[in-house]
Structure 1
């Protein structure tokens, strides 16, 4: 018979099994615990087990983005309030011991006590597609960099004649030369074996470059589908936009506000005062990949955006160090990104610009010279790859007046 008393559950998740503990929400008493397979049938059995003990108020799950991802998706799909529980640190586990039942009970206790626990990221929408593609692209980028290192290492110890000939070439010319090379028989000497190894690496580099370009195009299409306003924002590229979407997840409204997003991305100021010193320092916590994405946006804007340059100069004149000025800038960028993630504006239509330019026989270089920018800047605006509302407005007015 199903009980109506309120209960809280906790899950210790593993690759093949999940251990579930259920507590009375009023007293905190353990009502039962059991192990289930990490399968769809197991997830259904978990819900049935909890329902027998009471009316579920909250479910705390460890590893909602790893071993607990499937369980978290199933629970959310069933309308269960799921909260993410951080695994206990090693010091705490040394004090109380460790076992699957103990970890499940701890997860339930944390869920019972914590009203402000984070809501897990949803992982069943287009942002999850972005995450898995971004992971593939990242591994390809690392593999390509490793190929270049291996080529350099082989050249260091290559026979003198080969080394002297190849080390004079730039990276592109070197790779082209190695790809087109025709090594002789491997059994005839180390020269031919070295040339063969270098050709294999150069061809691997070419394959990885094609894979990176393909996955980048796929990421661009997904990002434009999910949040075109984010990709059109000044200083935001495909990779940075993808990472920020991954950090927020398919349910960005789970993040309660700008301050919470700043803490999540490691851009919130941390007090570092002592005695007569009153200061703040950079936050080294949060999602470091998201922090790096925001840092990249800051560097791009510092190099090309007049307003950002003026802001940094103002902070420096106020007595802040460059790092402190960048920290302030990153917080402002984080606030802007949060708004774009939770309430993205419509991206202005720019499809009229290129036909209007071509109808007047104007080249990209002519337009770029008129506005004092690079031709690529105009091209990316026309193709909707870059958002610059002020320049777009002036460009359209100039075309209509021409």
Structure 2
């Protein structure tokens, strides 16, 4: 089948439901298509030749991938429409009457501006131009608030689905609902689609490509593959570069060794691709933190006491207890300390 995740999805699922083995083939080579032309019979012959040669075959993605893709498309559409509405508001205020422009210039953030425009009363003005501009801005502000609610709801649905499908991937440092969903969509929730870790790196555009010339010996990232998956790896790398102590230490060592930040980012993305491949192909159980808060409350221990003992902020302990932050080392030490504190207190 060609296009098992698009126009061929229906017949692919029907074949699989009836126990018929189906494989996905790549579209015909563009140069061959230009030479031979295009028609359904020609495409069918090309697909048959590809199957007989065993070239460019893949296992179709399962239905869970389609569910994630639908939610992710809706969320990204809401974010794109929200950004467009914000830009439209700012454009309208640039050419608005001076009174409106000066009044709304004092808001320090876009969020405050949107809230103020959503509560404004256009009928309180006498100038017809000001009334029209405020009506338009109020409609856009209400649209933004609606899209923000959609974003939160869709993100919660994506988070629930990704956590159910692959809790280890979702719990990895720097992997949020959006990035986890994109990696699952790219790889497919059926892990046997990926032949090797190197193949996944090439698929995600994180494979090192030689770019040497003369006495210069270097590599660059692949510009092929799924660019959305590459963007997910990039965001994970940026988050770890900013907040993960181990990654920051690694970056410091590489900078001392004379590597550029671009080369370090390439190495990080390749290492993250290796880690993500393990999570995608061999999902493992993760530590459950749900026992920490009831145990602490049963011991009558405050968050401030725990935070002071471990040298972190109380909010970090609260997020750890609610499963919003993953730190297995801190959780294990916290659990041991709670039991020891109870024994000492007794």
- Mean CA deviation greater in 359-368 or 327-336: 359-368
The one of 82, 89, 111 equivalent to 1:144 is 82
Name 2:344's counterpart in structure 1: none
What is the Cα deviation at residue 116 of structure 1?
5.4
What is the Cα deviation at residue 355 of structure 1?
1.3
Name 2:57's counterpart in structure 1: 117
Unaligned runs of 5+ in 2: 342-346
Instruction: Determine if the alignment matches structure 1 residue 135 to structure 2 residue 81.
Output: no
* TM-score computed with the length of structure 1 as normaliser: 0.80
Question: How many Å separate the matches in 2 of 1:229 and 1:385?
Answer: 14
Name 1:56's counterpart in structure 2: none
The one of 52, 63, 67 equivalent to 2:3 is 63
- Mean CA deviation greater in 89-98 or 276-285: 89-98
Question: How many Å separate the matches in 2 of 1:231 and 1:130?
Answer: 14
Question: How many Å separate the matches in 1 of 2:151 and 2:187?
Answer: 24
Name 1:14's counterpart in structure 2: none
The structure with the largest strand share of the pair is 1
Report SS of the residue matched to 2:23: strand
Q: What is the aligned length?
A: 340
Q: How does 1:2-401 map to 2 (within 5 A)?
A: 61-115=1-55, 117-122=57-62, 124-125=63-64, 127-170=65-108, 171-184=110-123, 189-401=128-340
Q: Is the 8 A contact 2:26 2:57 kept in 1?
A: no
Unaligned runs of 5+ in 1: 1-60
Question: How many Å separate the matches in 1 of 2:47 and 2:124?
Answer: 63
Report SS of the residue matched to 1:80: coil
Q: Is the 8 A contact 2:50 2:56 kept in 1?
A: no
Question: How many Å separate the matches in 1 of 2:309 and 2:243?
Answer: 18
Change (3 A) 1:336 1:165: same
Q: Is the 8 A contact 1:266 1:285 kept in 2?
A: yes
Change (3 A) 1:357 1:113: same
Report SS of the residue matched to 2:57: coil
* TM-score computed with the length of structure 2 as normaliser: 0.92
Question: How many Å separate the matches in 2 of 1:193 and 1:177?
Answer: 16
Question: How many Å separate the matches in 2 of 1:83 and 1:346?
Answer: 31
Question: How many Å separate the matches in 1 of 2:83 and 2:220?
Answer: 33
Q: Is the 8 A contact 1:233 1:386 kept in 2?
A: no
Change (3 A) 1:364 1:131: farther
Name 1:19's counterpart in structure 2: none
Report SS of the residue matched to 2:269: helix
Report SS of the residue matched to 1:281: strand
Report SS of the residue matched to 1:82: coil
Change (3 A) 1:141 1:280: same
What is the Cα deviation at residue 128 of structure 1?
2.4
Question: How many Å separate the matches in 1 of 2:165 and 2:74?
Answer: 19
Q: Is the 8 A contact 2:184 2:280 kept in 1?
A: yes
Question: How many Å separate the matches in 1 of 2:21 and 2:203?
Answer: 21
- The Cα offsets for residues 236-261 of structure 1, whole Å up to 9 and x where unpaired, read as 11111111111122312210111111
Q: Is the 8 A contact 1:231 1:385 kept in 2?
A: no
The structure with the largest helix share of the pair is 2
- The Cα offsets for residues 152-171 of structure 1, whole Å up to 9 and x where unpaired, read as 01001111110111122122
